Amino acid sequence: MNIQGEFRTKQILVTAAVIINGNRILMTKRLPFGSEAGKWEFPGGKVEPGEDPRHCLKRELREELGINVEVGKALDIVSEVGNEAQLILIYFLCQIISGEPAPLQCQEVKWLHSQEINFLEKPAADERFWKTLMLSV
């Protein structure tokens, strides 16, 4: 913190999709290298400078899973402060309008029941979001 009380932590805006099909939710497993390697997450990605978060989510899901989605309402915003940056994640309810999810930039893609998701190893922000979501259902 500097003298004026401003934080100098880098902020990264990230979007994530909650896609429901019947009573199952789409989850993806991160690649075995890099940040949060091998953990299960809600699919999405980083917002580019000047990019609208909804546009980002559509782009990321097309690139990572080969699907086109309609981005609905924002469900929650979760902030996680790490060693090098503050992540601000916006979770949106989405619906697939075309394509079948395929692991183009992740290890696996699975449709899972909520009981299965409870036991997955997830990044901290996704874990916090998931617990909040389950409390509200």
Question: Which contiguous run of DSSP H or E holds residue 127?
Answer: helix 124-136
Classified as helix, coil or strand, 6 is coil
What residue segments make up the domains of the chain, in order of their start?
Answer: 10-136
Q: Identify the residue whose tokens are 């979770």.
A: 91
CA distance 113 to 119: 11
What are the per-10-residue average pLDDT scores of the chain (137 residues)?
Answer: 60 97 96 92 97 98 98 96 90 98 97 96 96 84
Structure tokens at 26: 């789409």
The per-residue pLDDT for 127 is 96
The per-residue pLDDT for 6 is 59
The per-residue pLDDT for 83 is 78
Q: Strand 24-29 vs strand 40-41: parallel, antiparallel, or unpaired? A: antiparallel
The CATH architecture to which 10-136 belongs is Alpha-Beta Complex (3.90)
